[in-house]
């Protein structure tokens, strides 16, 4: 079998973007995916400005905008009273980025879009990697179906349960939240009913809700309502018709319109791999770190890593830099994930579920004051959009 420069394990959005970025730099790439097709369950959709800059660099931005929804603002709400607390406007980032907005595009669309540009010769579906060997010359990978591949470098982008990470013996440090997150997909129009925008974070001490609009595959629009489950709630109970309809009732949906399109229940973790690299093998995306989805940061950070890693590998393969430069990948990316993604997503969750009334009122007041103060408003968005971490990455 032909030897490749770079082999990518996992054709999720991060692996697909990593493969495309490497191919665009002129490298022979192979992308191996365990499943027969791209998973289209409702996960990431919020794409932050620095990620849009990368997609523009890859020539994907026109299609990405066409199949998604542009969202300039996001809002915080008090769910108990269904009142808006504060609104943040990405227009304040004009001058910092060419994309002062987020785009709500479902992650399977991104994976498919990137794969379509790779060409059939480079992508293998139904190829589950189960074995990996490396020496100073390269890496050999064996799949469950017996096929073998050889490459100079391997990018493990095979998700939170990463086989590559396990084969490398790298610890996944952190914790799992006791509650799970339930995603209800519905056609009910929350913007018309409540006057909310396309991204809304609704705080409540017992049960918060995050509400997002996405385009859907038919581009007709649908909403995802994300809830925490109770710690003692069984899967059966959370997914039951009665409890789903009750949950929809608590965010205003009238009885006659409580039908839904899909339900998904997720375990939620905060974990970071102890190392992002071992020899010629690198971890990227959820294989390297997982976090709760509040704030829309996990996939975004994975794409930033894929872009960064492609450029570092490019320099080494083309002889423009020595292998030492590859050490910067973990040295730069691991602390950025901890500081910007793990810390912010944990803080975002706490903000939504604060139980103590005085503290809750204080958090609401802080949000109002931050939204009203132009400098603090912009500083908050620089961090929340990962623009600040992107600037830091360039300097380190």
Ligand X SMILES: Cc1cc2nc3c(=O)[nH]c(=O)nc-3n(C[C@H](O)[C@H](O)[C@H](O)COP(=O)(O)OP(=O)(O)OC[C@H]3O[C@@H](n4cnc5c(N)ncnc54)[C@H](O)[C@@H]3O)c2cc1C
**By the criterion CB under 6 A, which residues form the site for ligand X?**
9-15, 32-35, 39, 43-46, 107, 128-129, 157-159, 163, 181, 183, 226, 266, 285-286, 293, 296-300, 302
**C-alpha separations of 121 from 24, 28, 29, 37, 242 in Å:** 15, 10, 9, 16, 48
- Judged by beta carbon, residue 345 or residue 360, the one nearer ligand X is 345
Cα–Cα distance, 52 to 303 (Å, whole number):
10
Least distance (Å) from ligand X to the CB of residue 247?
15
Least distance (Å) from ligand X to the CB of residue 185?
11
Least distance (Å) from ligand X to the CB of residue 258?
21
Question: What's the gap between Cα 348 and its chain centre?
Answer: 15
Least distance (Å) from ligand X to the CB of residue 236?
20
- Judged by beta carbon, residue 19 or residue 364, the one nearer ligand X is 19
- Judged by beta carbon, residue 102 or residue 364, the one nearer ligand X is 102
Return the C-alpha torsion angle 346, 348, 349, 352, nearest 10.
160
Cα–Cα distance, 18 to 311 (Å, whole number):
10
Cα–Cα distance, 388 to 93 (Å, whole number):
11
Given a contact cutoff of 8 angstroms between Cβ atoms, the answer to whether 303 and 386 are in contact is: no
- Judged by beta carbon, residue 100 or residue 293, the one nearer ligand X is 293
- Judged by beta carbon, residue 271 or residue 315, the one nearer ligand X is 271
81-84 long-range contacts, CB within 8 A, separation 24+: 82/194, 82/202, 82/251, 82/252, 84/195, 84/196
Least distance (Å) from ligand X to the CB of residue 330?
16
Cβ-based neighbours of 313, under 8 Å, separated by 6 or more: 5, 6, 22, 27, 153, 326
Helix, strand, coil distribution of the chain in percent, nearest 5: 40, 30, 30
- Judged by beta carbon, residue 43 or residue 213, the one nearer ligand X is 43
- Judged by beta carbon, residue 147 or residue 366, the one nearer ligand X is 147
Cβ-based neighbours of 258, under 8 Å, separated by 6 or more: 188, 244, 245, 248, 249
User: Buried b / exposed e across 275-300, counting CB within 10 Å, b at 16+?
Assistant: bbbbebbbbbbbbbbbbbbbbbbbbb
Indicate the SS3 state at residue 9: strand
- Judged by beta carbon, residue 85 or residue 110, the one nearer ligand X is 110
Least distance (Å) from ligand X to the CB of residue 234?
19
- Judged by beta carbon, residue 114 or residue 203, the one nearer ligand X is 114
Least distance (Å) from ligand X to the CB of residue 144?
8
- Judged by beta carbon, residue 225 or residue 364, the one nearer ligand X is 225
Query: Which has the closest alpha carbon to 38: 11, 65, 8?
Result: 11
Cα–Cα distance, 130 to 109 (Å, whole number):
27
**C-alpha separations of 258 from 185, 190, 244 in Å:** 11, 12, 8
Least distance (Å) from ligand X to the CB of residue 208?
14
Least distance (Å) from ligand X to the CB of residue 44?
3
- Judged by beta carbon, residue 161 or residue 376, the one nearer ligand X is 161
Residue nearest to ligand X (CB): 12
| The pair of three-digit structure tokens given for residue 372, joined into one six-digit string | 């009203």
Rg over alpha carbons for the chain, rounded to the nearest Å, is: 21
First to last CA, the chain: 38
Least distance (Å) from ligand X to the CB of residue 292?
8
Least distance (Å) from ligand X to the CB of residue 243?
18
Cα–Cα distance, 314 to 22 (Å, whole number):
7
């Amino acid at each position: 079998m032909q030897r490749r420069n770079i082999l990518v394990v996992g054709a999720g959005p991060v692996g697909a973007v990593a493969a495309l970025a490497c191919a665009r730099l002129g490298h022979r790439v192979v992308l191996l995916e365990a499943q027969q097709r791209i998973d289209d369950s409702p996960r990431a959709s919020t794409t932050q400005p620095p990620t849009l800059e990368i997609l523009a660099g890859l020539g994907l931005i026109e299609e990405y905008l066409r199949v998604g929804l542009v969202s300039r603002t996001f809002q915080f709400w008090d769910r108990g009273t269904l009142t808006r607390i504060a609104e943040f406007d990405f227009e304040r980032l004009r001058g910092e980025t060419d994309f002062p907005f987020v785009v709500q595009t479902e992650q399977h669309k991104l994976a498919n879009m990137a794969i379509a540009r790779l060409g059939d010769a480079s992508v293998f579906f139904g190829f589950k990697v189960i074995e990996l060997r490396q020496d100073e010359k390269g890496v050999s990978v064996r799949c469950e179906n017996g096929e073998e591949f050889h490459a100079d470098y391997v990018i493990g982008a095979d998700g939170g349960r990463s086989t590559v990470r396990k084969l490398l013996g790298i610890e996944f440090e952190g914790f799992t939240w006791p509650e799970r997150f339930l995603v209800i997909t519905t056609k009910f129009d929350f913007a018309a009913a409540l006057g909310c925008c396309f991204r809304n974070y609704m705080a409540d001490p017992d049960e918060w809700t995050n509400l997002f609009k996405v385009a859907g595959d038919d581009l007709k629009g649908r909403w995802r309502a994300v809830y925490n489950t109770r710690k003692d709630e069984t899967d059966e109970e959370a997914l039951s018709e009665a409890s789903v309809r009750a949950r929809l009732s608590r965010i205003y949906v009238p009885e006659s319109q409580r039908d839904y399109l899909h339900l998904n229940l997720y375990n939620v973790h905060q974990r970071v791999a102890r190392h992002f690299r071992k020899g010629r093998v690198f971890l990227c995306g959820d294989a390297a770190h997982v976090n709760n989805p509040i704030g829309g940061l996990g996939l975004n950070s994975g794409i930033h890593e894929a872009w960064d890693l492609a450029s570092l590998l490019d320099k080494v393969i083309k002889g423009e830099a020595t292998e030492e430069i590859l050490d910067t990948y973990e040295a730069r990316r691991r602390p950025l994930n901890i500081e910007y993604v793990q810390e912010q997503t944990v803080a975002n969750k706490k903000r939504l579920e604060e139980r103590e009334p005085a503290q809750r009122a204080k958090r609401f007041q802080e949000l109002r004051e931050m939204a009203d103060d132009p400098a603090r408003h912009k500083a908050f968005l620089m961090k929340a959009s990962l623009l600040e971490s992107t600037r830091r990455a360039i300097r380190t």
